[in-house]
């Protein structure tokens, strides 16, 4: 099938590359010329395991193309994905101006056959209908221009647009495993009341549903849930809000464990074995961050508020999360007492491993708070330390290797659970430090091994 993906951020690029990999002819449109140039040369502007490989093979086979020309993309695609950003505004609402501009642009360029317009961006509930309206207004604008220029009669201008439908198809990709998640989703949600549009989307995803590519063929087909537009939009918010709340819940339990002398890792295991609860997203630590959870939970609170409903539970999830980010500071104070003049080294900066994403990373709050208390902060991160991102982070000296990080530190804090931090030579690390204290803010390391290596080990809720 012919597909156009508009917006080559994290979601758009992964979606476009994966759809090309399963045999669709995909044109990705982005208005950033530099980025398009980079992607045309076969390089990925983001770090995501497996993405560069599929981009290169799909580009070589001619199934993945990049352009800045929206008109060309719209003319090409039977299915048009809107995958531009919806960043949070200071109020917590989503900024939908990029979606609006793209929807208008689509309308102004629609002149071929029937098109399915897919909302892939996480958009406020009700946006499906709003996008339909904007596309329609784009069509009207174009018709006025055509008729005004005397190129066509009003009747012909109308006939040139064969119609379109809007489908909500939320993504549930995790950064760091987005390519895997695209080929192995837990479910595919399609929100539309139009059977024709749904049939086209089902055909598009058939190779993934039938697990034909990069998946385990012995597994049952991927469930496809067809809903109305608003319910599909709500599913995305509700899923992220539930997962974020699950983490805030276990973090709260961890804080109580700390006081009563229980071990939250054992508690999580014990409750996770209950199939009604499940064992995932019960890892206590420094709290959730990233580009999705904070934005989506705030947006849902805001939407509820718009309708006069106060989302008490979601607000509590957010406030538990804000407090959790600073629990590490309390733990450092308990061990080091005065932090002024002390040196704290952070192991990891990104909001989670296997990504270079620093958006709403708990490390940023930690750095700010430690600076305020007069501590000197150093950090090492497997990706940030080796990239241009290093210079963009204020209040921290980003070291390029671990020995330099450990040198002279009064404490280390494990902030991001990068796999490679599990296997460090901690005896060597301890010997370089001024004071071998390690706050494991993810309960990620082997406590006994660290104690043996000479560390004073402090976990979260254990
Ligand atoms: C999330 C959703 O999982 C995904 O479905 C959605 O499309 C986008 O948002 P992502 O932001 O990539 O994906 O990260 P995820 O792996 O879900 O982790 C989110 C945050 O929660 C991270 O900061 C992570 O460190 C934290 N986390 C996760 C915990 O603190 N404990 C856990 O048990 C799990």
What pLDDT sits at residue 236? 97
What pLDDT sits at residue 156? 66
Ligand 1 geometric centre to CA of 279 (Å): 14
Q: Is 78 annotated as a binding residue?
A: no
Q: Is 446 annotated as a binding residue?
A: no
Instruction: Considering the chain, tell me which residue range(s) the CATH 1.10.1040.10 domain(s) occupy.
Output: 236-323
pLDDT in tens, 302-358: 999 999 999 999 999 999 999 999 999 999 999 999 999 999 999 999 999 999 999
Distance CA 336, CA 326 (A): 15
- What is the chain's Cα-based Rg? 25
Nearest CA to ligand 1 atom 5: 172
HSE of 154, CA atoms in CB hemisphere, 13 A: 2
Are residues 289 and 326 in contact, defined by beta-carbon separation less than 8 angstroms?
Answer: no
pLDDT in tens, 181-232: 999 999 999 999 999 999 999 999 999 999 999 999 999 999 999 999 999 9
CATH superfamily of 325-458: NAD(P)-binding Rossmann-like Domain (3.40.50.720)
What pLDDT sits at residue 375? 98
Q: Is 284 annotated as a binding residue?
A: yes
pLDDT in tens, 140-174: 888 888 888 877 776 666 556 669 999 999 999 99
Q: Tell me, yes or no, if 292 is annotated catalytic.
A: yes
Are residues 79 and 41 in contact, defined by beta-carbon separation less than 8 angstroms?
Answer: no
Q: Which residue has the higher pLDDT, 147 or 76?
A: 76
Supply the ipTM of this predicted assembly: 0.97
- Cβ burial of 95 (10 Å; 0-12, 13-18, 19+) is middle
Are residues 328 and 413 in contact, defined by beta-carbon separation less than 8 angstroms?
Answer: yes
pLDDT in tens, 100-116: 999 999 999 997 789 99
Estimate to the nearest angstrom the gap between the alpha carbon of 265 and the chain centroid. 26
440: left (phi over 0), alpha (psi -120 to 50) or beta: beta
What pLDDT sits at residue 147? 83
Q: What are the distances in angstroms from CA 303 to CA 10, 111, 237, 320?
A: 25, 35, 11, 21
Site residues for ligand 1, CB cut-off 6 Å: 171-175, 240, 243, 247, 281-283, 285, 288-290, 292-293, 351-352
The two tokens of residue 292 are 């999705």
pLDDT in tens, 12-64: 999 999 999 999 999 999 999 999 999 999 899 998 999 999 999 999 999 99
Residues 6+ positions from 197 with CB-CB distance below 8 Å: 116, 165, 166, 167
Taking the domain 236-323, which CATH number applies? 1.10.1040.10
Predicted structure pTM score: 0.94
Instruction: Considering the chain, tell me which residue range(s) the CATH 3.40.50.720 domain(s) occupy.
Output: 2-227, 325-458
CATH 3.40.50.720 fits 2-227, yes or no: yes
């Amino acid at each position: 099938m012919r597909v156009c993906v508009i917006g080559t951020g994290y979601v758009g690029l992964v979606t476009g590359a994966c759809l090309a990999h399963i045999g669709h002819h995909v044109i990705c449109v982005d208005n950033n010329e530099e980025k398009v140039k980079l992607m045309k040369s076969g390089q990925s502007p983001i770090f995501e395991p497996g993405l560069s490989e599929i981009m290169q093979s799909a580009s070589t086979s001619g199934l993945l193309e990049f352009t800045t020309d929206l008109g060309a993309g719209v003319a090409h695609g039977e299915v048009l994905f809107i995958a531009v950003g919806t960043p949070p505004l200071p109020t917590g609402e989503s900024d939908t101006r990029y979606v609006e501009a793209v929807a208008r642009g689509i309308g102004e360029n629609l002149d071929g056959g029937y098109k399915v317009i897919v909302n892939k961006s996480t958009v406020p509930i009700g946006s499906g209908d709003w996008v339909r309206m904007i596309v329609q207004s784009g069509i009207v604008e174009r018709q006025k221009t055509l008729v005004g220029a005397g190129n066509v009669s009003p009747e012909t201008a109308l006939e040139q647009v064969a119609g379109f439908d809007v489908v909500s198809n939320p993504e549930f990709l995790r950064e760091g495993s987005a390519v895997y998640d695209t080929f192995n989703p837990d479910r595919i949600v399609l929100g539309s009341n139009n059977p024709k549009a749904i049939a086209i989307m089902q055909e598009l995803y058939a190779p993934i549903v039938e697990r034909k590519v990069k998946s385990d063929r012995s597994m049952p087909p991927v469930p496809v849930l067809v809903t109305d537009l608003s319910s599909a939009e709500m599913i995305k918010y509700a899923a992220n809000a539930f997962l974020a709340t699950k983490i805030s819940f276990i973090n709260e339990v961890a804080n109580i464990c700390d006081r009563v002398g229980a071990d939250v890792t054992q508690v999580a295991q014990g409750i996770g074995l209950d199939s009604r609860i499940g064992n995932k997203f019960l890892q206590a630590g420094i709290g959730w961050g990233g580009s999705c959870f904070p934005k989506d939970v705030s947006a849902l609170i805001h939407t509820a508020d718009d309708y006069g409903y106060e989302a008490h539970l979601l607000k509590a999830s957010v406030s538990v999360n804000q407090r959790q980010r600073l629990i590490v500071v309390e733990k450092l104070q308990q061990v080091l007492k005065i932090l002024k003049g002390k040196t704290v080294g952070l192991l990891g900066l990104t909001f989670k491993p296997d990504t270079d994403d620093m958006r709403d990373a708990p490390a940023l709050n930690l750095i700010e708070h430690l600076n305020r208390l007069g501590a000197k902060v150093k950090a090492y991160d497997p990706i940030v330390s080796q990239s241009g991102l290093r210079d963009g982070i204020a209040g921290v000296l980003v070291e390029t290797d671990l020995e330099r990080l450990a040198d002279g530190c009064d404490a280390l804090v494990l902030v991001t659970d990068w796999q490679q931090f599990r296997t460090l030579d901690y005896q060597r690390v301890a010997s370089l430090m001024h004071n071998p204290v390690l706050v494991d803010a993810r309960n990620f390391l082997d406590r006994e091994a660290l104690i043996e290596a000479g560390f004073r080990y402090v976990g979260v809720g254990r």
